[in-house]
C-alpha cells in the first residue's frame, strides 16, 4: 500500500490546550503480510502504523512510535518547570496527523543588535521549533534558533543555532531530553550577541556586490534569478556584514518564504553557513 501524500497545514494557535486537541489520535500497530505464490506470510521485519483506523505507513520492527501528545506533554512540562516566558508562534500539522512542528518564541531573551536606517531597532528573538513524526519520516527533537524581525509589517526570517534530534527506537530515552531548557536558551542568547560582529565588519558597496555574485554564481546558495533583487536590497542596507546578511535574508523572506516555507528554510541555512560565527571571508572587488 503506498504512503499517503500530505501537504502541511498552517494553523494559528494560542495555547498548548488547542495544540493537544488537534494532535489527539488513536495510534496502533499491525502485522504486515507478504504474498508469495498466492500465499500470505507475516513479514517479521516490517509493521504497519494505523492512525484512527486508517493505514499510515510501514516501518521497521525497531521503530518505536512516540505519540505527538507525549512529545508535547514532555516539552510543556519542562517549559512550566523552567518558568520561561514563552509564546506559541506557529503550529504546523499534516492532515493525516503523521507529523507536526511547533514554533515558540521567548520574548524575555530578545536582543537588539543594531539600529536600522528607518530608525527601528533590529531585534532578534530566540525561538524553539519542536518536531515529531509517527510515520518514520522525521525524528523527534527541537531546533534552537532565533527570529529576526526584518520589517515593520512583522515578516520574520529564521536562523538555526543548533538542533538536537532523537531517532524513534525501542531504546530511545525521552526522559531528560528537555532538561535544562533555560540554560539552552541562555546559550542561544549569548550566540545572538555574537551576531554584533557582523555590525562591526565594514564592507563597501562594490565589495558587497562581489560577495553576492560569489555566493550565487560560485557557491550557488540561491538561484541566480534572485541576484538582482539581493543587489538592489544591498543598496539600501548599512555598509557592514550585517547589512549584507540582511540583503540576503530580506529577499528570502519576501520572495520565497510566503510561498514555500521548506525552500526558504533550506536557503536560510545555506546563507547562515556563509556567515559562520558572524563573519564571512571578504572578497576584494576589482
Are 105 and 223 in the same domain? no
Are 215 and 238 in the same domain? yes
Question: Considering 168, 194, 220, which residue would you say is the last residue of a domain?
Answer: 194
pLDDT digits (tens, 9 = 90+) for 26-70: 999 999 988 888 888 888 889 999 999 999 999 888 888 888 898
Are 188 and 207 in the same domain? no
End-to-end Cα, the chain, rounded Å: 59
In a domain, 122, yes or no: yes
Are 177 and 110 in the same domain? yes
69 and 23 in contact (C-beta within 8 Å)? yes
4: pLDDT strictly greater than 50 = no
Spatial distance between the Cα atoms of 52 and 147, rounded to a whole number of angstroms: 36
Q: Which residues pair with 142 in a beta bridge?
A: 130, 164
Give, in order, the Cα–Cα distances in Å from 65 to each of 98, 144, 168, 179: 11, 24, 7, 21
Are 154 and 180 in the same domain? yes
Q: Which residue in this structure is represented by grid cell 539600501?
A: 236
pTM, two decimals, is 0.64
pLDDT digits (tens, 9 = 90+) for 128-180: 778 888 888 767 777 767 766 655 444 455 555 445 555 554 455 545 555 55
Are 83 and 161 in the same domain? yes
pLDDT digits (tens, 9 = 90+) for 219-250: 898 899 999 999 998 998 878 888 888 888 88
**Grid cell of 210 as nine digits:** 562581489
**Grid cell of 156 as nine digits:** 520574520
Spatial distance between the Cα atoms of 225 and 48, rounded to a whole number of angstroms: 44
In a domain, 43, yes or no: no
Are 221 and 80 in the same domain? no
**How many structural domains does the chain have?**
2
In a domain, 132, yes or no: yes
Are 110 and 232 in the same domain? no
Rounded mean pLDDT of 17-22? 87
Are 73 and 165 in the same domain? yes
Q: Which domain range does residue 165 map to? A: 9-24+63-194
In a domain, 50, yes or no: no
Spatial distance between the Cα atoms of 132 and 60, rounded to a whole number of angstroms: 17
Question: Considering 159, 194, 229, which residue would you say is the last residue of a domain?
Answer: 194
pLDDT bracket for residue 183 (50, 70, 90)? low
Question: Considering 194, 219, 237, which residue would you say is the last residue of a domain?
Answer: 194
Are 90 and 182 in the same domain? yes
In a domain, 52, yes or no: no
Secondary structure (3-state) at 255: helix
Are 79 and 200 in the same domain? no
Spatial distance between the Cα atoms of 189 and 113, rounded to a whole number of angstroms: 12
Give the distance, in angstroms, between the CA of residue 67 and the centroid of all CA atoms in the same chain: 20
- Residue 97 backbone zone (phi > 0: left; psi -120 to 50: alpha; other: beta): left
Are 100 and 73 in the same domain? yes
Rounded-to-10 torsion of CA 160, 162, 165, 171: -170
In a domain, 164, yes or no: yes
Give, in order, the Cα–Cα distances in Å from 99 to each of 14, 93, 239: 19, 6, 42
In a domain, 45, yes or no: no
In a domain, 53, yes or no: no
Amino acid at each position: 500500500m503506498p504512503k499517503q501524500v500530505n501537504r502541511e497545514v498552517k494553523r494559528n494557535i494560542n495555547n498548548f490546550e488547542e495544540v493537544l486537541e488537534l494532535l489527539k489520535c488513536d495510534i496502533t500497530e499491525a502485522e504486515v503480510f507478504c504474498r508469495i505464490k498466492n500465499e500470505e506470510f507475516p513479514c517479521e521485519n516490517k509493521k504497519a502504523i494505523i492512525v484512527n483506523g486508517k493505514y499510515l505507513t510501514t516501518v521497521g520492527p525497531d521503530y518505536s512510535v512516540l505519540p505527538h501528545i507525549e512529545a508535547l506533554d514532555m516539552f510543556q512540562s519542562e517549559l512550566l518547570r523552567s518558568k520561561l516566558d514563552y509564546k506559541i508562534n506557529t503550529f504546523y500539522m499534516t492532515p493525516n496527523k503523521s507529523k507536526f512542528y511547533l514554533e515558540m518564541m521567548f520574548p524575555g531573551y530578545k536582543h537588539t543588535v543594531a539600529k536600522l536606517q528607518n530608525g527601528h531597532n533590529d531585534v532578534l528573538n530566540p525561538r524553539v521549533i519542536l518536531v515529531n513524526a509517527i510515520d518514520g519520516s522525521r525524528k523527534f527533537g527541537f531546533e534552537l534558533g532565533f527570529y529576526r524581525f526584518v520589517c515593520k509589517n512583522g515578516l520574520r526570517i529564521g536562523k538555526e543555532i543548533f538542533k538536537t534530534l532523537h531517532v524513534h527506537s525501542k531504546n530511545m530515552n525521552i526522559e531528560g531530553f528537555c532538561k535544562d531548557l533555560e540554560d539552552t536558551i541562555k546559550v542561544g542568547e549569548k550566540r545572538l550577541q555574537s551576531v554584533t560582529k557582523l555590525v562591526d565588519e565594514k564592507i563597501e558597496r562594490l565589495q558587497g556586490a562581489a560577495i553576492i555574485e560569489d555566493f550565487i554564481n560560485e557557491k550557488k546558495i540561491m538561484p541566480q534569478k534572485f541576484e538582482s533583487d539581493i543587489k538592489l536590497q544591498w543598496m539600501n542596507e548599512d555598509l557592514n556584514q550585517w547589512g549584507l546578511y540582511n540583503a540576503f535574508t530580506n529577499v528570502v523572506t519576501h520572495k520565497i518564504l510566503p510561498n514555500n516555507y521548506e525552500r526558504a528554510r533550506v536557503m536560510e541555512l545555506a546563507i547562515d553557513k556563509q556567515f559562520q560565527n558572524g563573519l564571512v571571508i571578504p572578497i576584494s572587488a576589482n
